A and B are shown apart, each in its own frame.
Chain A
């Protein structure tokens, strides 16, 4: 998983540099996010502008991480959704769960 820390303004800003979040790297993404949350960085902004493909495993990893962030009184916000990735959030109604900016 290629994740770049791009800022810490009001939270941790992460740029996902992989084109795909799928069954191959979803667990790795989840573990990276959980590590940050456990370390107290529980306000996370995920920039998905480079991602053009997400499957149910990728969505599941994000949902699980969101739950853990909320449990730690934090949150995960998402930005930069490409058209098709946005449609995946929309058909699964995860656009109602995540704060998408």
Chain B
């Protein structure tokens, strides 16, 4: 079994590839000895980030790539998700917990990311958006 990091996965923007990304993150999290609950958090958070990157970043253009990089630090896991989009304003996202938004079909992805990870950050460059997800290691 390899436990070497960093690891990298490149995917074309096809929705059927999202599950592959989830398993990639799940395997990495298990190799870093995260708890089962944290492994699930990490897999779902990466699913949300990759879905966003494909749909909103790359606009479902199947020729555009999503790149996932996973790094291990002594105290945490870092996952970078890069797409070829023009970015977005992370402050301009409706709160899905407001009563008027609770019954909306969409708009929960970024909120779920923030809830499941310990820190998220963004980096915007020309035709490249990166979301950075961090999960702290905890004693089991």
Q: Does A99 contact B (CB under 8 A)?
A: no
Q: How large is the interface on A (under 10, 10 to 19, 20 to 34, 35 or more residues)?
A: 20 to 34
A22-B106 in contact (CB<8A): no
How distant is the Cα of A88 from the Cα of B19 in the complex, in angstroms?
Answer: 18
Interface residues of B in 33-51 (CB under 8 A from A): 37, 40-41, 43-44, 47-48, 51
A62-94 to B contact mask, C-beta < 8 Å, 1/0: 011011000000000000000110001001111
Is B18 among interface residues, defined by CB-CB distance under 8 A? yes
Chain B, interface residues (CB within 8 Å), range: 20 to 34
Q: Give the dominant DSSP class at A's interface.
A: helix
What residues on B are CB-neighbors of A57 within 8 Å? 51
A55 vs B106: C-alpha distance in the bound complex, in angstroms? 11
Question: With A and B bound together, what is the CA distance between A93 and B98 in angstroms?
Answer: 10
A96 to B102, CA, bound (A): 9
Q: Is the interface of B mostly helix, strand, loop or mixed?
A: helix
Q: A31-66 toward B: CB 8 Å interface, digit per residue (1/0)?
A: 000000000000000000000111111011101101
B1 part of interface (Cβ distance < 8 Å): no
Contact residue among B15, B19, B96 (Cβ-Cβ distance under 8 Å from A20): B19
In the complex, the answer to whether A55 meets B48 with C-beta atoms within 8 Å is yes
Which of B64-72, B82-90, B109-117 touches A?
B109-117
